[in-house]
Structure 1
Amino acid sequence: MSDNEKTAPAGDFNEEFQGEAADASAPEEVSGDEPQEDGLDVLQAQLDDLRDRLLRAVADAENTRKRAAREVKDTREYAVTGFARDMLDVADNLERALGLLSDDVRASLPESVRPLVEGVEMTQRRLASTLERHGVKRVAPEPGDPLDPNLHQAAAQIPADQPKGRIAHVMQPGYVIGERTLRAAMVVVSAGPAEGVQPATAEPAADKPDSSGRKPGSGLDVEA
């Protein structure tokens, strides 16, 4: 073998090596837009998830704010509930005491006692106005009013002139504080008119006199 056959020219070897390297490093052509569309779908899904989380966070914050405001309002409005409930006995006693004084009794009172009665009346009015200023209002239904289970407590049922199921008598007034019932009014419910009481019946037509004042059949000649 000659020396020319043993040793290849350096220039030919370099050209062949560079050609193979260029072929290996050449990027493959990508056909279609599928990878790009998949990436957009992923980004859109992430965006929707973030938007949903943001809306939930805003809603939770708003609900927390409203709940806190409602709790503050309830605390202010119902802070005197226990004290007001204890003062109802005082209001009831004042009302009972003044209810025993009829007009005749008041007129017969000596002059030295009348200022005492006026002082009790003034105390009752002042107590009622103080309770109302703190949100405590009196509930005093009238006979014939419908029964409200939220405000009234039926203690008994008696025959009365009022329709059945309506209030016939008020035994004790009730009180509310804000939108809550502090004490239900004690009432007596009507069971309707008493049994055996019937409306007056009309006179039978056969016994009614006619326009001349005579009853039917009277003054007629009957042949034998």
Structure 2
Amino acid sequence: MSDEMQKSEADEEQVAEAQAGDTTSEEPYLNPLEAAELRIAELERDAAEMKEQLLRTIADMENLRRRTEKEVKDAKQFSVTSFARDMLAVADNLRRGLETIPDEERANAEGTLRALLDGTAMTEREMLKTLEKHGVKKLNPEGEKFDPNYHQAMFEVPNPEVPNNSVVQVVQAGYVIGTRVLRPAMVGVAKGGPKFVAKPDEQEAPSADPSDIEGIDKSV
């Protein structure tokens, strides 16, 4: 091979290597200022994403804290539910024991009978006070609007002079613990009177027709 051919091949190899090493046509040249601005923008995006993740984590933790507090509160409040429900029979018996004595005899009672009546009444009051201390409250809704959430209609009383759908008689007192009903109050409901108007200081209860309540006894 002649020297001229070898030289030509060598020149071609040098040109090819130069073209292979030249990347300016593929990647634009960035001066230091532009490169710094791009890096800053990238860091700002990363910081914004991290901030958003942090805020979501804080919100999740706050929701978890509130749920935990509510669960703990409910557990404390409703832990005595079964016991309180069992004690309602005792409260009923104390009340029945007092009501077996006619009003006139109770008013004129003396000696042993007076002591027995006073002791029974005191026991009932202390029991209700203790139950209330643990979140159990007695419902005695006479004169209030019938509320199917807390009352059970046992019979209707036709009376055009009494507001319609109001409780005119409490057959058996009800009890609640917190917002839960331990036992609905068994009541008689007025029918045929004017529309019930709640007092300004009373919260309007959901209206319901007692005839729609399952198990109502209209024979009384």
TM-score, structure 1 length as denominator?
A: 0.65
Equivalent in the alignment of 1:151: 150
Distance in 2 separating the partners of 1:152 and 1:107: 32
Equivalent in the alignment of 2:48: 48
Distance 1:25 1:174, change over 3 A: same
Distance in 1 separating the partners of 2:20 and 2:78: 84
Distance 1:73 1:33, change over 3 A: farther
Taking only aligned residues, the RMSD between alpha carbons, in angstroms, comes to 3.8
Equivalent in the alignment of 1:162: 162
TM-superposed deviation, 1:190 = 1.0
TM-superposed deviation, 1:26 = 7.9
Equivalent in the alignment of 2:116: 116
TM-superposed deviation, 1:24 = 8.7
Equivalent in the alignment of 1:77: 77
* Number of residue equivalences: 182
Q: Residue by residue, what CA displacement relative to the aligned partner does 1:94-135 show, whole Å, maximum 9, x if unpaired?
A: 112112223321255452322122211111111111111111
Percent of matched pairs sharing the same residue:
42
Distance in 2 separating the partners of 1:33 and 1:142: 89
Do structure 1's residue 142 and structure 2's residue 131 form an aligned pair? no
Distance in 2 separating the partners of 1:192 and 1:23: 103
TM-superposed deviation, 1:32 = 7.1
SS where residue 88 of structure 1 aligns?
helix
Distance 1:30 1:149, change over 3 A: same
SS where residue 148 of structure 2 aligns?
coil
Distance in 1 separating the partners of 2:180 and 2:55: 35
What is the 5 A alignment of 1:26-65?
Answer: 28=24, 36=35, 42-65=42-65
Structure of larger gyration radius: 1
Q: Residue by residue, what CA displacement relative to the aligned partner does 1:1-57 show, whole Å, maximum 9, x if unpaired?
A: xxxxxx9xxxxxxxx9xxx99999788489978885776665554443323222221
Distance 1:126 1:24, change over 3 A: closer
Equivalent in the alignment of 1:104: 104
Equivalent in the alignment of 2:91: 91
TM-superposed deviation, 1:89 = 0.9
Equivalent in the alignment of 2:176: 176
Q: Counterpart amino acid of 2:61?
A: A
Q: Counterpart amino acid of 1:154?
A: A
Q: Residue by residue, what CA displacement relative to the aligned partner does 1:49-91 show, whole Å, maximum 9, x if unpaired?
A: 3232222211111111111111111111111111111111111
SS where residue 98 of structure 2 aligns?
helix
SS where residue 182 of structure 2 aligns?
strand
TM-superposed deviation, 1:191 = 1.3
Gaps of 5+ in 2: 4-10, 194-220
Distance in 2 separating the partners of 1:159 and 1:98: 30
